[in-house]
């Protein structure tokens, strides 16, 4: 599910970091650039693992920032084809099931269910929800209930043997395919973010841009396609009984 990848990159250190410990500042800038970001054709960056090498810093004419060539290892979320993963059903429609690796939220206290959270600490991933199980990759005998807006598996054709893909339930699936979309940056949006950052700081940038980002219906840069077609797949609860 996770791999280590070696990356060499020119890391920028702003002037306000010059009085800090250089290693700490470099680690922060690497995580800022790569953590929770999709690296095309590779996977989702998680966190810096270690720094292998770095050269002396340089300051370019007319630019107050320092630039340091750094070679490092990054932890990347990249499930292998054929790998079995456990997640949670986020939503369903006539096309199939969407799975999240976030533990479900308890609406009463807005916290993750403690049972699921304990499972997450054992190795589940809590930051990825662009996983789709198309209808053609579900068990034979599955159909979509329009009334309940969930998928139902009629295991042998009788009503007594129906089982349900209920929302928020833990589901086990097999990774079949990964899809990357090379999404080009929106230059107008980048310029607007730079203006907000310069005028009002990072807090204002986060508050004023999040609504716009959340409302846009852009394709996810990284999508995983899964299947539930063999014994042991589907809701974990089915196989525990």
pLDDT at 72 over 80: yes
State the pLDDT confidence band at 60, using cuts at 50, 70 and 90.
confident
Q: How far is CA 32 from CA 46, 74, 152, 175, 210, in A?
A: 11, 12, 42, 29, 17
For residue 163, report the phi and psi dihedrals to the nearest 5 degrees. Answer: -130, 155
Least confidently predicted of 45-59, 60-74, 103-117: 103-117
Q: Is the pLDDT of residue 74 over 60?
A: yes
Question: Residue 199 pLDDT > 70, yes or no?
Answer: no
Q: What is the pLDDT of residue 187?
A: 57
Closest CA to 143 of 127, 129, 130, 159: 159
Give the chain's end-to-end CA distance (angstroms, integer). 27
Report d(CA 154, CA 56) in Å as an integer: 65
Supply the pTM of this predicted model. Answer: 0.75
What is the per-residue pLDDT for 123? 37
Mean pLDDT of 28-37: 94
Q: What is the dihedral of CA 197, 201, 205, 207, to 10 degrees?
A: -170
Lowest mean pLDDT among 64-73, 88-97, 188-197: 188-197
The pLDDT, as a whole number, for residue 198 is 64
Full set of structural domains in the chain with CATH: 2-77 (3.30.1490.120), 84-180+221-240 (2.40.50.140)
Whether 119 has a pLDDT exceeding 50, the answer reads no
């Amino acid at each position: 599910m996770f791999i280590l990848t070696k990356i060499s990159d020119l890391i920028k250190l702003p002037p306000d970091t010059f009085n800090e410990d250089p290693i700490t500042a470099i680690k922060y800038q690497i995580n800022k650039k790569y953590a929770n970001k999709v690296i095309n054709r590779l996977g989702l960056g998680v966190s810096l693992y270690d720094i292998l090498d770095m050269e002396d810093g340089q300051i370019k004419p007319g630019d107050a920032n320092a630039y340091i060539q750094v070679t490092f290892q990054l932890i990347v979320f990249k499930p292998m084809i054929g790998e079995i993963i456990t997640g949670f059903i986020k939503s369903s429609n006539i096309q199939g099931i969407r799975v999240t690796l976030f533990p479900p939220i308890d609406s009463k206290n807005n916290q993750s269910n403690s049972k699921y959270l304990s499972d997450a600490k054992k190795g589940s991933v809590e930051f990825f929800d662009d996983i789709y199980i198309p209808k053609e990759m579900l068990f034979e005998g599955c159909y979509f209930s329009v009334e309940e807006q969930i998928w139902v598996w009629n295991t042998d054709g009788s009503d007594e043997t129906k089982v349900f893909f209920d929302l928020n339930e833990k589901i086990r699936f097999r990774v079949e395919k990964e899809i990357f979309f090379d999404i080009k940056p929106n230059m107008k949006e980048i310029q607007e973010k730079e203006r907000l950052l310069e005028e009002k700081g990072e807090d204002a940038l986060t508050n004023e841009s999040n609504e716009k980002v959340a409302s846009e219906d852009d394709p996810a840069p990284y999508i995983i396609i899964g299947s539930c077609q063999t014994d042991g797949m589907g809701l974990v609860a089915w196989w525990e009984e």
